[in-house]
A = this chain, B = another copy of it.
């Protein structure tokens, strides 16, 4: 201030300060502040749907969706989505009606993520690997009014619809044909119920149906139901908007990425990235089938920059034979989530040149809300140590309000000791509205204390990073000790012959339960490695009570469509073996 010509008076600072000491009775503005609030210009609902119109303006001529020989631009995708919304409206689909899709990662699947909610309807993506009975249950429960179905999945839908009770009005069916799948059964072209015909009836200048409130439902996703009946998770426009923005910031996705759809979009809407790609003008490379040759080819052909997948996808990439793997010509970034990745798998895939980010989320959060935010100083550590740190789920993403691990008995935060287990709880703008038609389950998950209870069990490390130990139902309780099946599995993955491992509780007469490991061995190891050897190997590496007392070799472990091991199948097998009786190796614990 002195240099700018204001007269410098020689102030007596202490006198000055004394003159301006605490004053009471200021003319406070709090009351005037409180008069201000939401207004018509700032309270228009948050929604991710607006990303699409902007993408058409900014990236109009750039590729939006690529699938084999088909390439759409953002202008085209925008107009196709408006046509879809318009056509659905013309068919009588209205606000909050449910529209289901039974589709692999093809362009129609991408378009449904905008076109369906732009008609005011709620998008329900159905897991394509479910059996007909479950599909029927979901269609009935959701009250779905229309189904977009891939030609290859028509038999599945046919079976499902036949299982619907006759008094249940069947949803309308729209067939999505795939001109690139020559070997599939195809209907006669004379039907007006194909997807492309439907789009032709739609208006590309349609005024899309904006939500009346940002809390309006937009998405209905059924949980995979590894144990209980599937629950219908409902998300609103606001929640999806928030998780989309948060995921882009957290993963630091730059503009115009090339995103390979290795993650099924039916799985929690591809963790919000269908909307995120529109926000950034990315290119969505679609894949009907995910196997190592397709993925490596797509990475090379399309110069892929980003992809997502459960740890099983990472394992697939890492275990691909020499001839299938292709060198990476540029950095390819992978986001993995869905189940805890074994450190050994992270290590292998990073050694190949992939840059892995590890996140954690649930269908109930619409995407990842915790991630292993990487610290520069960790780069100095040995690779195996880096992988161990990266296997931790981490810290909340910037936009989440709070994440904690609590003792379910007391409700208090567990100590930050990396050992005391508790339930992971969280709160923030992208937590679901609730479970459709299931107030009881909603209340059990979203409690009056303001937290969403995930059902996942974890520990808090001293540095504030959390790590999942288990689903609460997967914890093995042996002689009063809680054993994390994930922890035992992680160690088994370190065995040179182990390809996959899953650990569940087996009844034990003395200990109540003891760990039972189901192991699939790498090629060449079958018949060479024995159960006794694996047990002996384990005993050198973990506390006695954690060592599997039973080891069962299997060709492949049963998995859900999203790569999660179906532990309830293994638990059933373990139960059927009957309890371990006294006198077994358990005496050495």
Residues of A at under 8 Å CB distance from B? Answer: 1-2, 4, 6, 8-9, 11, 13-14, 16-17, 19-30, 32-34, 36-46, 50-51, 54, 57-59, 61-62, 91-92, 94-98, 122, 128-129, 131-132, 140, 142-145, 152-156, 158-159, 161, 168-173, 175, 184-188, 190-191, 193, 215, 217, 234, 236, 239, 241-242, 245-246, 248-249, 252, 254-256, 279-281, 373, 375-377, 395-396, 398-402, 426-434, 436-437, 442, 446-452, 463-465
Closest chain-B Cβ to A516's Cβ sits at a distance in Å of 27
Interface contacts beyond A42-B239, A44-B401, A245-B249: sample of 16 additional A-B pairs, CB < 8 Å, sorted by A: A2-B155, A6-B131, A13-B185, A14-B191, A27-B168, A28-B96, A28-B145, A30-B97, A40-B448, A41-B427, A42-B446, A50-B400, A54-B395, A57-B464, A252-B254, A280-B398
- Choose one: B25, B44, B62, B215; the contact of A450 (CB below 8 Å): B44
Docked complex Cα distance between A4 and B128 (Å):
11
Docked complex Cα distance between A361 and B466 (Å):
39
Closest chain-B Cβ to A171's Cβ sits at a distance in Å of 7
A170 surroundings in chain B (CB, below 8 A):
19-20, 23
A57 surroundings in chain B (CB, below 8 A):
395, 463-465
- Choose one: B6, B153, B217, B234; the contact of A132 (CB below 8 Å): B6
- Choose one: B4, B22, B169, B252; the contact of A27 (CB below 8 Å): B169
Docked complex Cα distance between A325 and B472 (Å):
61
B40 touches A450 (CB 8 A): yes
A16 touches B433 (CB 8 A): no
A401 surroundings in chain B (CB, below 8 A):
44-45, 50
Of all chain B residues, the one with the shortest Cβ separation from A55 is B398
Docked complex Cα distance between A2 and B254 (Å):
39
B143 touches A28 (CB 8 A): yes
B429 touches A172 (CB 8 A): no
A396 surroundings in chain B (CB, below 8 A):
54
Closest chain-B Cβ to A367's Cβ sits at a distance in Å of 14
| A-B residue pairs, 3 tightest by C-beta | A13-B187, A30-B96, A36-B433
**A28-B145, A401-B50 known; A58 and B395 CB under 8 Å?**
yes
**A28-B97, A54-B395, A395-B54 known; A1 and B376 CB under 8 Å?**
no
Closest chain-B Cβ to A318's Cβ sits at a distance in Å of 24
